[in-house]
A and B are shown apart, each in its own frame.
Chain A
Amino acid sequence: MEPSILGSFGQEIIGVMSPVSLCMLLVVLLVYSLSPSNPFSSSSPAPVRTVANLVYTENPSDTAAHKLEGALLNALVFVILMAIVTFVLVLLYYYNFTNFLKNYMRFSAFFVLGTMGGSIFLSIIKHFSIPIDSITCFLLLFNFTVVGVLTMFSGGMPIVLRQGYMVSLGIIVAVWLTKLPEWTTWVLLVALALYDLVAVLAPWGPLKLLVELASRRDEELPALVYEARPTVSRNEGNQRSSLAPFVGGVSDSGSVELQAVPNNNGPRDGSENRRSSEYTAIQVRNLENVEGERDRDEGERSPLVGHSRERYSSDGNSSEYSTVVRNRESEIVVDEEMPPLVDLLGMDNEREQVRRVGIGDSVIASRGIKLGLGDFVFYSVLVGRAAMYDLMTVYACYLAIISGLGCTLILLSVCRQALPALPISITLGVVFYFLTRLLMEPFVVGTATNLMMF
C-alpha cells in the first residue's frame, strides 16, 4: 500500500508550532517555579525600573483609571523608542555598517545569555537549593554563553543546536519581561501588535524598508530568526518537482526577514537544490538583539533610563537596573516547499514556475519557515502573564496563540509577502484571556466543584 498523503500534510506548520509551544511551556514552568511561594511575604522585590516602566511605575494601590492611563503612557513610550531604534537600524544597514552591526549583535547575544540567563539560573539554584559551587557554576555559564554566541553567528553548526539556543534566548527574555506589572504588560502587548502591523505593512514602515533593502542587495536580513528546516520528505519523486521556493515574508515587531537569493542554476531535483540553497542565504546575520539595541543607543548618545546593571537580588534590596528590553525582530517566511498547504490553497506546480520567473528570478534559498525571535518572546510573555492568574487562562491563551499562528501561516501562503506575525495571535490571546477570566471561569469552576461535567 502506498503511503498516504496524510503523513506529509502540514509538516512545516508543525515545525514552527513545536518550538513556539516548547518556549511557552518552559516560560510557564519557570514563571511558576520562580514566583515567590508566599505572595504576602515581606521580601517581595522592589519594582524594576526598565524602559517599559519609564513613565509610570505601577502601584497596586492606584485606582483603575490611573493604572490604565499610566500603562498607556508606558506602552506609548516603549513603542516610540522601539520605532526610533528600528529606524536607526535601517539607517545603519543602509550605510553598510554591517561589520559594526554584526559585532554588536555578537556582544549583545553574549550579554543576554550571560547576565540575564545567569541571573535566572541563579534564582533557580536558589529556589531549588541545588548544591553547586560558584566556580563550577561560572564555568558552566561561561561555556553556555560562548557556545551560544558561536552557534548563532557562524555557520557549520548543527541546526538543532542553533534552534535550541534561539528558543533559550526567547525564554530568557520572556521570563524577564513577565516581571513587568500587569496592566503595563497587557497594554504593551496590544500596542506592540499594532506597531507591528504598521511597521510591516505600511509603505514607510521601518521593517518594510529593511526587507526591501535586504532583498535589493540579495542579502540575509540582519535579524535573529528561528529557522525551521524542512524535514526530509519520505517519498522522493513527485514532491521534489513541485518545490519552487518562493519568498513569503512575515515580518513582525522587529525583525526583518529576507529571502531572495537567486537559485536558478541548480537543477530541479531535490538534494542538489537543497544543498545550494541552504548555504547561500541561511547565513543569518543576526544583528538585532535585546541588550544590543540599548547598548547601541548608549553608543549613540541617546541616554535612556538608568544604565546601572546590577545583579538582581531577590532579597529586597532595591537594585535598579535597566533591563534593556527591546523588541526583537520577528518574522516568518514561508518557503513554498510546503506544497501540500500551498496546493491546498489552489496553486499548482505550473503556477509556481511562472511565479518564480515573475518575481524576477529571485527565489528563496532557504527552505522552511522562519519565525522571528520577537514572536517567540511576546507569545511567551502573554502566556506567562496568563499563568500568573490561573492554569485555565494559560490553556485558553495557548490555544488562541497557536490558532493565530496557524491563521498567519495560511495567510502567508496566500499573500506571499512579509506579514506581521504578532497581531492576529496577540489579539486572539488577549481576547481569550479576558473572556476566560470573566466568563468561563465562574461557569466551569461552579459546575466542576459540584462534580457535574459534560
Chain B
Amino acid sequence: MTVAAGIGYALVALGPSLALFVSVISKKPFLILTLLSSTLVWLISLIILSGIWRAFLPLNSATWWPFAILLFTSVAFQEGLRLLFWKVYKRLEDIMDAFADRVSKPRLYLTDKMQIALAGGLGHGVAHAVFFCLSLLTPAFGPATYFVDRCSQIPFFLVSAIIALAFVMVHTFSMVIAFNSYAEGNKVDQLFVPVVHLAAGMMTLINFASGGCIVGIPLLYLMAILTLMHCGRMVSRRLTENHRQGSS
C-alpha cells in the first residue's frame, strides 16, 4: 500500500534497532564489524538449515507438527552457534587485551564487553527482521496489500513486522544475557536463553490455528519483555558489583 506504508512497516520492525545502532553502535567501528559478522553467521545458519530441510519442503500447511520439528531443530542449531560465537569472542577478547597492553591502554572494560555482546545480539535481530520481514515487504510498496487466511484482521505485512520486532528484542538482549552468563558461569542464565528462544519460536506455532495470532502475538511479546527485564536486572547487578569492586 504505497511507499509510505512500506516504509512504515519496515520501521515498525527495525525502528528500535535503528535507534540502538545510531546511538551506540555507529560510534565505534569495531561494533559495526561485530554486527556485520553476527548477521553473516545468522545468515549462514539459515542457509545450512534450509539446505537440511530442502528435501522436505514445501511442508503441508495443514498439519502443525512438521513445523514444530522444523522450529525445534532451527532453534537448537542456532543456540549451538551462539556457543561457538562465544568461543570466538573469547579468543578475540584475549587478542584485544594483549593489544591494549602493548599500546599501554586500559584493557576492555565491562561496558565494552557488554557493548560487544549487544552488537552481536543486534546483528542476529537485524538478520531475523531482514530475512523474515523486510525481504517479503516488496509488494507492500505497491498499490495493494495482502492478508493471510489464518490472521485475517490485519495485513500480513503488519503482522510479520510486529512479530519481527518481538524477535529483534529477544535476540538482542538474550545475547547480552548469554555472554554475561558464560562469563560468570551462571548455569541458570545459560539455560534461560535457549529456553526463551525455544518458547518464543513455539509461540509462533499458536499462529497456526485460525485466529491464533490474537493469542500468539501477545504471548510472544510477553517473552520479549521477560527477556528485556531479565537483561536489565542482570546488567544493573553486574555494573553495581563492578563499581563497588572498583571503588573499594
B133-145 interface bits toward A, Cβ cutoff 8 Å, 1 = contact, 0 = none: 1111110000000
* Contact pick for B47, options A344, A402, A439, A454, CB 8 Å: A439
In the complex, the chain B residue whose C-beta lies closest to that of A21 is B36
Which of chain A's residues have a CB closer than 8 A to the CB of B30? 6, 9-10
Q: For the complex formed, measure the closest distance between the CB of B103 and the CB atoms of chain A, giving whole angstroms.
A: 5
- Report if A344-B33 is in contact (Cβ < 8 Å); known contacts: A6-B112, A392-B131: no
Among B81-89, B175-183, B205-213, B233-241, the stretch that binds chain A is: B205-213
Provide the bound-state CA to CA distance between A5 and B99, in Å: 9
* Interface contact A452-B204, CB-CB below 8 Å: yes
The answer, yes or no, to whether B40 is at the interface (CB within 8 Å) is yes
Residue of B nearest to A341 (CB): B99
User: How would you classify the secondary structure of chain B's contact residues: helix, strand, loop or mixed?
Assistant: helix
Note all chain A residues with C-beta closer than 8 A to B245.
Answer: none
Q: How far is the CB of A58 from chain B (nearest CB, A)?
A: 25
Binds B, one of A103-111, A260-268, A374-382, A442-450: A442-450
Residues of chain B lying within 8 A (CB to CB) of residue A13: 29, 33
Chain B residue contacts of A343, Cβ below 8 A: 99, 102-103
Which among B30, B49, B67, B128 has the highest number of chain A CB atoms within 10 Å? Answer: B30
Partner-contacting stretch, out of B14-22, B54-62, B223-231: B54-62
Q: Is A451 an interface residue (CB 8 A)?
A: yes
Given A4-B108, A446-B58, A448-B160, A14–B102 Cβ distance below 8 Å?
no
Residues A4 and B103 in contact, CB atoms below 8 Å apart: no
Q: Are A452 and B205 in contact (CB under 8 A)?
A: yes
Whether the Cβ atoms of B112 and A4 lie closer than 8 Å is: yes
| Given A395-B130, A443-B50, A444-B46, CB of A450 within 8 Å of CB of B208 | yes
Question: What are the residues of chain A within 8 A of B58 when measuring CB–CB?
Answer: 442, 446
User: Does A396 belong to the interface (CB within 8 Å)?
Assistant: yes
Interface members, chain A 329-356 (any B CB < 8 Å): 339-340, 343-344, 348
Contact of A435 with B by CB under 8 A? yes
A221-238 interface bits toward B, Cβ cutoff 8 Å, 1 = contact, 0 = none = 000000000000000001
User: Count the B residues whose beta carbon is within 8 Å of the partner chain — how many?
Assistant: 71
Report B31-58 CB contacts with A as 1/0, cut-off 8 Å: 1110011011001001101110110011
Q: How far is the CA of A344 from the CA of B33 in the complex (A)?
A: 15
A239 within 8 A of B: yes
Taking CB atoms, residues of chain B closer than 8 Å to A392 are 131, 135
A400–B40 Cα distance when bound, in Å, is 8
Q: For the complex, what is the distance from the CA of A440 to the CA of B103, rounded to whole Å?
A: 45
Q: Could you tell me if B28 and A6 are in contact, using CB atoms closer than 8 angstroms?
A: yes
Pair A4/B109 contact, Cβ less than 8 Å: yes
Determine if B105 is an interface residue (Cβ-Cβ < 8 Å). Answer: yes
- A62 on the interface (CB 8 Å rule)? no
**A221→B111 CA distance, assembly (Å):** 44
Q: 8 Å CB contacts to B: which residues of A1-57?
A: 1-2, 4-11, 13-14
Give bound CA distance, A446 to B61, whole Å.
9
Q: Is the CB of B57 within 8 A of A443?
A: yes
- Given that A4-B106, A403-B36 are contacting pairs, would A453 and B204 also be in contact in the complex, using a CB cutoff of 8 Å? yes
Q: Is the CB of B31 within 8 A of A6?
A: yes
Asked if A399 CB lies within 8 Å of chain B CBs, one says yes
The docked-state distance in angstroms from the alpha carbon of A213 to that of B7 is 52
0/1 string, A247-283, CB within 8 A of B gives 1: 0000000000000000000000000000000000000
Q: Which B residues touch A1, using CB under 8 A?
A: 106, 109
User: Which residues of chain B come closer than 8 Å to A454, judged between CB atoms?
Assistant: 71, 74-75, 78, 167, 197, 200-201, 204
Q: Which A residues touch B136, using CB under 8 A?
A: 445, 448-449
Q: How far is the CA of A242 from the CA of B103 in the complex (A)?
A: 9
Is the beta-carbon distance between B28 and A7 smaller than 8 angstroms? yes
Q: Which of B94-149 contact A (CB under 8 A)?
A: 95-96, 99-100, 102-106, 108-109, 112, 115-116, 128, 130-138, 148
Q: For residue B50, which residues in chain A have a CB less than 8 angstroms away from its CB?
A: 439-440, 442-444
User: Given that A440-B47, A444-B135 are contacting pairs, would A7 and B27 also be in contact in the complex, using a CB cutoff of 8 Å?
Assistant: yes
Given contacts A343-B102, A444-B50, contact A451 B132 (CB under 8 A): no
Asked if A450 contacts B27 (CB within 8 A), the reply is no
Residues in B with CB closer than 8 Å to A400 are 40
Q: Contact between A451 and B102 (Cβ–Cβ < 8 Å)?
A: no
- SS class of chain A's interface: helix, strand, loop or mixed? helix
Q: Does B193 contact A (CB under 8 A)?
A: no
Q: Kindly state whether residue B159 has any CB partner on chain A within 8 Å.
A: yes
With A406-B33, A451-B204: A443-B103 Cβ-Cβ less than 8 Å: no
Give A19 Cβ to nearest chain B Cβ, in Å.
Answer: 14
CB neighbours of A453 from chain B (8 A): 128, 132, 160, 163-164, 167, 201, 204
Cβ-defined contact, B134 with A9, below 8 A: no
Say which residue of A6, A239, A440, A444 sits within 8 Å of B115 (CB atoms).
A6
A238 x B47 contact (CB < 8 A)? no
Q: Measured between alpha carbons, how far is A445 from B216 in the docked complex, in Å?
A: 20
A436 B47 Cβ-Cβ under 8 A: yes
Known A5-B103, A453-B167: A399·B43 in contact at CB below 8 Å: yes
In the complex, A391 has a CB within 8 A of chain B: yes
A391 to B9, CA, bound (A): 15
Residue A69, interface by CB 8 Å:
no
Q: What per-residue 1/0 map shows which CB atoms of B142-168 lie under 8 Å from chain A?
A: 000000101100001001100110010
Q: Tell me if B40 and A340 are in contact (CB < 8 A).
A: no
Which residues from B are CB-within-8-Å of A436?
A: 47
Q: How far is the CA of A7 from the CA of B200 in the complex (A)?
A: 35
| Residues B135 and A395 in contact, CB atoms below 8 Å apart | yes
Given contacts A5-B100, A442-B57, contact A391 B163 (CB under 8 A): no
Among all A-B residue pairs, the 7 with the closest Cβ atoms: A443-B50, A392-B135, A451-B207, A454-B201, A14-B29, A9-B30, A391-B135
15 pairs across A/B with beta carbons < 8 Å?
Answer: A6-B30, A6-B112, A6-B115, A7-B28, A239-B103, A395-B135, A402-B40, A432-B47, A439-B47, A440-B46, A443-B50, A446-B57, A448-B160, A450-B208, A451-B208
New A-B pairs, 19, CB < 8 Å, besides A5-B106, A446-B57, A452-B71: A5-B108, A6-B28, A6-B31, A10-B30, A339-B103, A343-B102, A399-B40, A406-B33, A432-B43, A436-B47, A440-B47, A443-B46, A443-B49, A448-B136, A450-B148, A451-B208, A452-B70, A452-B207, A453-B160
